[in-house]
Structure 1
């Protein structure tokens, strides 16, 4: 019997194109002798369109961004994704808001469907960098100093916001939308004028921004895989020629180097693994995360963030980390699907009446 798999991809998000690349890579890696694959494309306007079953290789992402097919409205959506379909698992290949932030995960929970990746709480907390960092602080994880602002308070008194950044963090600092990934809307600031422009840029993508202290450090990442007993990959290092690893460096700059395994001491590696698992459990994660760290010249390890749906093409850091750890891309996908089924089965043990 084939595993009946539904892929969700696209999305009403600034990371729409990234999601299409991820979907193409996953489809190409899946064994059609093992899986029956139904695609559901979410276009940039947020419309859900169910396409024909995948029966062979997909040559390009345009073939996945279809307009023909069964368009989903709320009533049809629950019928299409509900128990009548017999889907064994849903694989949300969605990055950013309206997909990685717990919204889709909540819908799948209501439909009582198994799905790959993190649940509602972990997804929502992992998407909001302010909430995430607050939880990390509660868990005792070392991290850079940060402050946050919402658009209404900045509109009311932007001068006060700038003074707070300068007093508590100083320069350089990084301004980021709180709820976005793939380094969209992030700016490095070394003076007041750059800070002002960075706030304007970041507030285009979210109503909340976070500003972080800039430090001199290496950027080291680990992949975490599992449910209640997660395991870590080898470490990888990002070496970008730019000041920081921005959207272009991630998806269009061939000069950015990903070094796997990163050259770190045994002691630092053990600390990285311990902190990654602590972060995974602090957010109640499941399935996968990519944990991102700073390592200073003095070997001080600080957690930067976790990504609950990291870039997932074969050339993205998360799959590459696991490839070098001994888990190739098709096996990684199958392990995630199995973890989703196991977590769903565990949830079915919960009593809902007394």
Structure 2
């Protein structure tokens, strides 16, 4: 039996989503295969080994439990596993695999993956490089360009460029996309549509930049793509497989954070009502994007399907949500892999890959 460490929370803006994901996932772990340890990371970066229930994790009461124990992972490989501080002594618990049920900055951008590599403990999800490249939308786009898969037209703007000459930035955007056409303004490195705005005019563009720059110092400006929003889940290492295609119907003007997690008027259709040939094209494109970025473990790949059936890449998420309404587990459930088996498969792929020595 393997010892599985579940990590949740973190210091990102997606802390609450991570808690929901962990609360959903923990009850479905196969306890005949895994001994489970659960560690929560507060927004301030404090690590606690906790025996909190899923309800306590969701409602934030887990942080107040008197049974919590401070803990840490050490990059010193002589300290093997989770280091738990108990009665002023450090107790070492060996760990076989880590499942970071975490989203956003410092959680899926290569930062915590670097810690896992230094510790020498296998972990679910992509490695440092693939995580970092997939988290930064501007880098992702440059890599995916080599696949030949269509993408929205875009430009990249840094905070320094905007602060030095915002007028030139706006003129460049209007020249690139047309002054009457709406554009999306996105932080380059943020997940779950955090900080994203759709701007229809100069005033909204100013507001969008102000919002996005609070999240990231590099901004991606994209043309608006007219089409159906579809998502595919991918799992595996050297020979990944793709789920069926799911379609998103956002309650808001676009699929922002509120539409994903707060607005119950958003809905999904799994599998999507798409012809088999187009569905296969989307699934193959998802695997192509996944492999081009060097992803392993699993990821969700998002596309637009234009009215004339063109496949347009949108973005990739290397640690997708695992809540009850999250697309990643729902897509695989519709493809014949239930929640519990999906968790086991992700852990098995982590152990198969191992870590760099």
Common topology (TM > 0.5) = yes
Residue pair 1:322, 1:328 contacting (<8 A) in 2 also: yes
Distance 1:11 1:80 in 2: 22
- Contact 1:49 1:67 (8 Å CA) reproduced: no
Q: Partners of 2:234 and 2:72 in 1: how far apart?
A: 36
Q: Within 2, Cα distance between the matches of 1:173 and 1:67?
A: 46
Aligned to 1:199: 209
Q: Give yes or no for contact 2:4–2:34 (8 Å, CA) kept in 1.
A: yes
Deviation at 1:255, TM superposition (A): 1.1
Q: How does 1:133-152 map to 2 (within 5 A)?
A: 133-152=141-160
Uncovered stretches (5+) of structure 2, i.e. residues with no partner: 84-91
Give how far 1:318 is off: 0.8
| CA shift digits 1:150-197 (9 cap, x unpaired) | 111111111111111111123211001111111111101111110010
Deviation at 1:75, TM superposition (A): 5.6
The answer on whether the counterparts of 1:234 and 1:325 sit within 8 Å (CA) in structure 2 is yes
Contact 2:80 2:94 survives alignment (8 Å)? no
Query: CA distance change for structure 1 residues 81 and 206 in 2, over 3 Å: closer, same or farther?
Result: farther
8 Å contact kept, 2:75–2:118: no
Distance in 2, matches of 1:290 and 1:125, equals 15
> 2:292 maps to what in 1?
282
- Unaligned 5+ segments in structure 1 are none
User: Of residues 156, 160, 171 in structure 2, which corresponds to 1:163?
Assistant: 171
- Judging changes above 3 Å, is the alpha-carbon distance between structure 1 residues 215 and 75 closer, same or farther for their aligned structure 2 residues? closer
Q: How many pairs align?
A: 343
Cα distance 1:308–1:280, how it changes in 2: closer, same or farther (>3 A)? same
Aligned-residue offset at 1:81: 3.2
Quote the offset at 1:77 in angstroms. Answer: 8.8
Secondary structure at the residue paired with 2:63?
coil
RMSD: 2.0
Displacement after TM superposition at 1:308 (Å): 0.4
Q: Distance in 2 between matches of 1:178 and 1:81?
A: 34
CA-CA distance at 1:80 after TM superposition: 6.9
* Conservation of the 8 A alpha-carbon contact between 2:3 and 2:96: yes
Instruction: Give the corresponding residue for 2:88.
Output: none
8 A Cα contact 2:71 2:82, kept in partner: no
Structure 1 residue 81 corresponds to structure 2 residue 81: yes
Q: Counterpart in 1 of 2:89? A: none
What's the offset of the Cα at 1:135? 0.4
Please point out which of 239, 249, 252 is paired with 2:259: 249
C-alpha spacing 1:306/1:73, structure 2 compared with 1 (3 Å): closer
Aligned: 1:260 with 2:270? yes
- Measured after TM superposition, the shift of residue 32 of structure 1 is 3.1
Distance 1:186 1:85 in 2: 41
Aligned-partner Cα distance in 1 for 2:242–2:168: 42
| Aligned mate of 1:105, from 82, 101, 113 | 113
Name which of 306, 311, 314 aligns with 2:324: 314
Report the Cα offset of residue 223 of structure 1: 0.5
Contact 2:234 2:301 in 1 (8 A): yes
Deviation at 1:274, TM superposition (A): 1.6
Equivalent position to 1:65, from 55, 63, 66: 63
Superposed displacement of residue 221, structure 1: 0.6
Q: Which has the higher strand share?
A: 2
Inter-partner Cα distance in structure 1 for 2:48 and 2:55: 19
Residue correspondence of structure 1 range 296-307 to structure 2 within 5 A: 296-307=306-317
Q: What secondary structure is seen at the aligned counterpart in 1 of 2:6?
A: strand
Change (3 A) 1:286 1:16: same
Tell me if structure 2 keeps the 8 A contact 1:41–1:66.
no
* SS at 1:243 equivalent: coil
Q: Is the 8 A contact 2:73 2:81 kept in 1?
A: no
- Larger deviation: 5-14 or 163-172? 163-172
TM-score, length-scaled by structure 2 = 0.91
